[in-house]
Amino acid sequence: MSVDWSVLDKPVTDLHAAKNPLAGRDVLRLFDLTPEEFHLVLSTALAQKRAWKADPSKVQAEAPYQGRAVGIILEKPSMRTRVSFELAAARLGAHPVIMADTHSAFSRGESLKDTTMVMERFVDALVIRSFAQARVEEIAHWARIPVINALTDDFHPCQGLADFLTMYEHKGDLSRLKLAYVGDGNNMAHTYLEGAAMSGMDCHIATPPSYQPQESYLNEARALAARTGASLTLTTSPDEALAGADVVITDTWASMGSESQHDERAVLFEPYRITMASFEAAAPRALFMHCLPAHRGEEVTDEVMDAPFSAIYDEAENRLHVQKALLSLLMAEN
């Protein structure tokens, strides 16, 4: 693999040039990107972030997608995703159309096909937060405009892009990092396996025995890891995952849809809580990350959330930058 993970500092891609391989594409999981395209999204986000910080009014004046629109369908609750996609679209000059209640999209039992094919007459890209991965895959099947997964039960690629950008900004060369994810083998665990496989990382996922990531996703990630030099390890031991880790990540123990299992999970996941003691096993200057919302005192202590080595708010901010980059690249004319 020719990707240099020590460098994401590149000029913004010429969105309309033939060399933008992402024009018109869907991103339903990180593996919809090649490692080179994953690098392109992150480097575009970093360049756009820097340009915005240097002179926001200049960037806004040059917004490339004036007169266009982005449909944002949220079938599950959201704060960060909604705000960051709405702003990302607006900063590109596009009008965000948000449907965030059960009656505004797929209403009255309308089929995914009919809603999707009507929506694409109005908007230029669709962002969807939903339940089963198959649901967003079916929408992408019908849509002739780009479709972006804004979280399903299986994957959260936009959060993954934000998190790998945050790791790069704080720790540099992704291929030299050990990532420890400790908690539920959920959509974030699947997403980290994919991002780590693409960027050549040493990734350890520690979960209780019956909460491991899905085997099929692990096998796909391992197949790519064999080509990129990544190492992917599943364990039930948080200590094993944390030993020497450069980046320590956790997530809620009961994701959206699993809330009814909260009490039984809370007992089982107790040894997986991230505390200041966890960081004694990690590498010096290790980073803490959490996609939020967090349950302070449950999967992670207040002390860790508020520590100087916590990057939780940088991650949240980077949602905006990576999603703006993604929309820039996918909405380009092809």
Q: Which residues bind ligand CP (CB under 6 A)?
A: 78-81, 151, 159, 291-293
Shortest Å, Cβ 21 to ligand CP: 26
Shortest Å, Cβ 80 to ligand CP: 4
Is residue 291 annotated as a catalytic residue, yes or no? yes
Tell me if residue 96 falls in helix, strand or coil.
strand
Give CA separation, 267 vs 180, 248, 262, 264, 299, in Å. Answer: 21, 21, 9, 6, 11
Is residue 212 annotated as a catalytic residue, yes or no? no
Residue with the CB atom nearest ligand CP in the bound state = 81
- Active-site residue identified among 80, 156, 265, 290: 156
Is residue 251 annotated as a catalytic residue, yes or no? yes
Residue 202 or 251 with smaller CB distance to ligand CP: 251
Is residue 319 annotated as a catalytic residue, yes or no? yes
- Active-site residue identified among 26, 32, 153, 251: 251
Is residue 50 annotated as a catalytic residue, yes or no? no
Residue 26 or 315 with smaller CB distance to ligand CP: 315
Residue 178 or 290 with smaller CB distance to ligand CP: 290
Residue ranges of E strands in 244-293: 247-250, 287-290
Shortest Å, Cβ 76 to ligand CP: 8
DSSP 290-317: E-S---BTTTB-HHHHTSTTB-HHHHHH
Give CA separation, 131 vs 105, 222, 258, 268, in Å. Answer: 14, 25, 12, 25
Q: What is the DSSP letter of 148?
A: E
Shortest Å, Cβ 156 to ligand CP: 6
Shortest Å, Cβ 19 to ligand CP: 31
Residue 178 or 324 with smaller CB distance to ligand CP: 324
- Active-site residue identified among 159, 184, 246, 321: 159
- Active-site residue identified among 29, 190, 273, 319: 319
Determine the Cα–Cα distance for residues 286 and 271; give it in Å rounded to an integer.
20
Of 114, 58, 63, nearest to 87 by C-alpha is: 63
Phi, psi of 259 (to 5 degrees): -60, -30
Of 142, 145, 73, nearest to 331 by C-alpha is: 145
Residue 293 or 297 with smaller CB distance to ligand CP: 293
Is residue 158 annotated as a catalytic residue, yes or no? no
**152 in Cβ contact with 135 (< 8 Å):** yes
Q: Which residues are marked as active site? A: 129, 156, 159, 251, 291, 319
